Amino acid sequence: MRTVGNLVYQFFELHLKAEKGLATTSIRSYRDGIRLFLLFLARENRRPISKLGLGDLNADNVRAFLAHLEAERGNNIRSRNHRLAMLHTFFAYAGGQEPMMLQEAERVAAIPRKRTQPAATYYLERDEVEQLFDKLPHDGKLATRDRALLMFLYNTGARATEAIGLTVDHLVLTSSPRVNLHGKGDKWRTCPLWPETARLLDKMLRDRRQPATAESPVFLSNVGKPLTRFGLYKLVRRHGSDIRIGNGQRSISPHVWRHTTAVHLLESGVEVNVIRGWLGHVSLDTTNRYAEINIRMKQEALEACQVPSTSSVGPPRRPVWQSEPKLLEWLAGL
């Protein structure tokens, strides 16, 4: 008879790793969620995890777990919804493997997500980007690395894990410079590099004490080890310490650079589908949110729709939205 233990094992080893091919970070997220759920069940049933049965995996316990996350652990709604999505996936797999679990899997699938406001999207204005690069040091052994790294983040909109996992063989710095990025879901994408980005990366690699091989990490720490996620965040915060975002409440992070890239591409007239491929979004809906956060573009569209109050000839014969090229161009880019 199948047990909770071998069901969880098969979910991770066969489904998440072998069948879906999720990245390590995604698997760790599932691991943490499943672990919290099992610990909650063990505590509520007053027995060790090894003694849990398939009957303990039910919709009532899932609802109790979600309430526990909010009431006792202080999770916000977004975190609660994230755990629920994880349990939806787990119970859907369990129902397919064990017929007696099918009814509970259907009940868990019927548990809805709570409505919540979308997360705020923070980004840098163009003058803030220029200010930041103007203040970067020009001398010192790490000056070129820091400038190359920040220019790379701004150029590509790469995720933190994509930047720290980049190796030399993923770069093409000669004609038509570009980079191959390994993103979420084990997917690859190619981003063009500006000549200045390619020049800085090439100089950084040439200035190393030890010649870089094809498998060498592109970005190293100050002691010559591969740059870590923590090191990347620390570097970005340090150089952006003079700039505060979110009404002065937040500091700059690598993901703020990613949002900045998307918004500035949109401002430059780049089509949304191109931006989706640039950033490696699976769904176009993820990219479309950037069209909603640019207040200047909204203001321009509003002004284009306004009928001049001083006009003596009355309303135009055709609606403004049919005759205003600037507005049509903006709408076509959504």
Is residue 255 among the annotated active site residues? yes
Q: Choosing from 68, 159, 182, 276, which is the catalytic residue?
A: 159
User: Pick from 49, 37, 43: which is nearest to 91 by CA?
Assistant: 37
Q: Write the DSSP assignment of 152-177 as a string of letters.
A: HHHHH---HHHHHT-BGGGEE-SSS-
Q: Choosing from 80, 147, 258, 264, which is the catalytic residue?
A: 258
Cα–Cα dist 320/115, whole Å: 36
Alpha-helical runs (H) found in the chain? 4-10, 24-45, 59-71, 77-97, 102-109, 126-134, 143-156, 160-164, 195-206, 229-239, 254-267, 272-279, 284-288, 295-305, 320-323, 325-332
In the block, residue with structure tokens 């909650």 = 40
Phi, psi of 282, deg, nearest 5: -70, -45
Q: How far is CA 109 from the centre of its chain?
A: 25
User: Pick from 29, 122, 135: which is nearest to 83 by CA?
Assistant: 29
Q: Choosing from 20, 184, 189, 199, which is the catalytic residue?
A: 184
Cα–Cα dist 53/270, whole Å: 54
Query: Which residues, in sequence order, are bridge partners of residue 217?
Result: 167
Is residue 145 among the annotated active site residues? no
Q: Choosing from 20, 31, 255, 289, which is the catalytic residue?
A: 255
Cα–Cα dist 92/103, whole Å: 10
Q: Please give the positions annotated as active site.
A: 159, 184, 255, 258
